[in-house]
Each structure stands twice: as structure tokens, then as C-alpha cells.
Amino acid sequence: MSNSTAAKRYAIALFELAQQKNELRSVEEDLRELKIVWNTNKELNTLFSSPKLSLDKKKELIRQIFTNANPIVINTLLVLIDKKRLGEVGNIINEFMTLSNEAQGVSDAKVYSTRALTEEERTNISTAFAKNVGKHSLRIENIVDPSIIGGIRIQIGNRIYDNSLSTKLDRLKRNLIG
């Protein structure tokens, strides 16, 4: 079984359990937090991948670190420790988010702008662009990037909608030179 296949199977089981318990949103929120912690804290990854640390100690640490997390998430982490698949956490979360987004008719989008977007601007962008990708709404991650000079750049999956001033200036430069 490849890592990708294992991640999908764990994600499907986690998703179905969260749906059965009517805790999809809670589990999703906790998984988003877990992903941030997992991706930004290299010491944590090193600690949990260490063969010197017993499985019981790893489980105890999970319970201490994620005390406020949904029990479904904690139990999933404990199972992953038992199965020696804790390294798959990132892939499992990504697969879970894909399943959750599909079920809710939502897509993740990165919106690059020169300043933080207001809630109204986020709503307008979501309304306008969700239809383009066949979704009801977008979950927007706003990234402030002064290098775009003005306008916005939106990335939804592998689609990019670029209406930034920096891109327009680059096109103008290429047209003038060529």
C-alpha cells in the first residue's frame, strides 16, 4: 500500500466518522490547526519520528499537546502512532480537506493583495469566483503581497486569475520590447 493510498483510506475513515458524529466542522477546524502546528514545528516532527521515544510516550505527548482538540482527531493521531503512520498526518489532512470541501461545495482559494481584504471584499470575491470553479463558495486565505503593486491575484486549485498591476506592467514591457 503506497503512502498516498494509506492517506486516502485514513482520510475517508476520518471523514465518514466525523460525518456520522455530526462533527465535520469541529474536526475540520482542529485539522487545520494541527496542519499549521505540524508544518511549522520541525522539532515536533523530529520528536515524533524518533525511535528512542516509546509509543506510549508519543501517545501521552499527543494527549498533552492537543488537549482541547476534538476526540476524533486525538484518537486518529493515536491510531496513526500505533500503525507507525504518523508521518502521513499532512497527507491525511490534505485528503480530508478535499473530501470535506467536496461535501460542502467549497473550494480553497489564495488571494494575493497589497493589503488585507475586508470581510465584504472576501464575500464579493467568493461570490464572483466560486461559480467559475463550480462551487457554492470559496474559503479564502488572504496573502498580503506588496510586490503585486495593485489589484489581486487569485489561485483556486491549479487555476490562477491574475489582475495584478505587476503582471499588467510585465505584459506591457514584453509588448514594448517585442
Q: Give the span between the Cα atoms of 26 and 28, in whole angstroms.
A: 5
- Predicted local confidence at residue 74, as pLDDT: 96
Q: Give the span between the Cα atoms of 4 and 35, in whole angstroms.
A: 17
- Predicted local confidence at residue 50, as pLDDT: 87
pLDDT tens for each residue of 128-142: 999 999 999 999 999
Residue 13: pLDDT band with limits 50, 70, 90 = very high
Q: Looking at per-residue confidence, does 7 or 3 come out higher?
A: 7
Grid coordinates given for 176: 514594448
Q: Which amino acid is at 172?
A: L
* pLDDT reading at 80 higher than 50: yes
* pLDDT reading at 45 higher than 90: no
| CA dihedral over 35, 67, 4, 44, signed as positive or negative | positive
- Predicted local confidence at residue 163, as pLDDT: 95
Choose among 137, 125, 128, 74: nearest CA to 101. Answer: 137
Average pLDDT over residues 52-81: 93
Please tell me the pTM assigned to this model.
Answer: 0.78
* pLDDT reading at 2 higher than 50: no
Residue 3: pLDDT band with limits 50, 70, 90 = low
Residue 178: pLDDT band with limits 50, 70, 90 = confident
- Predicted local confidence at residue 1, as pLDDT: 41
Give the CATH fold of the 3-101 domain: Peroxidase; domain 1 (1.10.520)
Domain segments of the chain as ranges: 3-101, 106-177
State percent of the chain over pLDDT 70. 98
Average pLDDT, the chain: 93
* pLDDT reading at 43 higher than 70: yes
Q: Order of strands across the sheet with 137-144?
A: 137-144, 106-113, 152-156, 159-162
